[in-house]
Amino acid sequence: MANLRIDSKITKKRMQNHFAYAKWQYVVVIIAMVLGLELIFSVTAYRPPEDKVILTYLCVPTLVMDTDYNLREQTVPLFPEMEEIAFQHISIGSADDYYAQMQLSTYIGAREGDLFLMPRDRFREFADQGLFIPLDDYISSGIIDIEGMAGSRQILTLGAEATPLGESVTGVYGISAEELYGMLDLGFDNRNFVFGITAYSTNPEDAARMISWFVGEYKAPKPDWLIEAETLTTPDEVLPSY
């Protein structure tokens, strides 16, 4: 029987032929490796405990670029015990903005966020469902300092189905941003927006301190240009209030 010899020498031509027919196999392998590494990273990445995080959602039409970053840089030193402080923007332009409304409902359904700033009508809607906690104790203790802002208290009476004890309760469930005209510099009309702390938050006291920081940082008199404009037009024609 003749001896069979297998030519296994690697040549340039053989390599070209190999990659011509098998290149997609390598592409698939590389993609699988990248996805696998991302999955491993996402599973093993450190996540701070919920009680070490303050997440604020700003549900307003527009924000000046880098507002979320700037707010974080300003507030991190005030909460040294926190491992993460974040601000997220949900661009709610009007009640007809279905995508933004769905996005907001999704985040709330996922129990995300300690503090929300949202349009008054949406605030009332979610408050009636039991989303927000009463703030009376934080106000009386001074944790939320709204001195000189008597009209900022959003006093609501919730039905028994919306309270943990199953009893009708009247209290302050939100703080209005009505007098925080410094927020005009953030790129939106502060009128008709309300702060509320979620019932599922693991950091309600720190969220209350965050409200107080917003009040102290952005409380300002109504600008002269806005006063003058309001004498000539209706408020909604000066800056759209959603």
Residue 176 has pLDDT above 70, yes or no: yes
CA-derived radius of gyration, the chain:
27
Residue 19 has a pLDDT of 62
Across 135-154, average pLDDT: 88
Answer yes or no: are the C-beta atoms of 76 and 85 closer than 8 Å.
yes
Asked whether the predicted pLDDT for residue 195 surpasses 70, the reply is yes
Residue with tokens 């209706």: 234
DSSP state of 178: T
- Three state DSSP letters for 85-144: EEEEECCCCCCCCHHHHHHHHHHHHCCCCCEEEEEHHHHHHHHHCCCECCCHHHHHCCCC
Cα-Cα end-to-end distance for the chain: 92
pTM for the predicted model, two decimal places: 0.76
Mean pLDDT of the chain: 83
How far apart, in whole angstroms, are the C-alpha atoms of residue 4 and residue 115? 78
Decide if pLDDT at 5 tops 80.
no
Give residue 160's pLDDT band: very low, low, confident or very high (50, 70, 90).
low
Per-residue pLDDT at 240 exceeds 60: no
pLDDT, residue 52, reads 93
Tell me, what's the pLDDT at 242?
Answer: 39
Sketch out the chain's domains with CATH numbers. 51-223 (3.40.190.10)
pLDDT at 152 over 50: yes
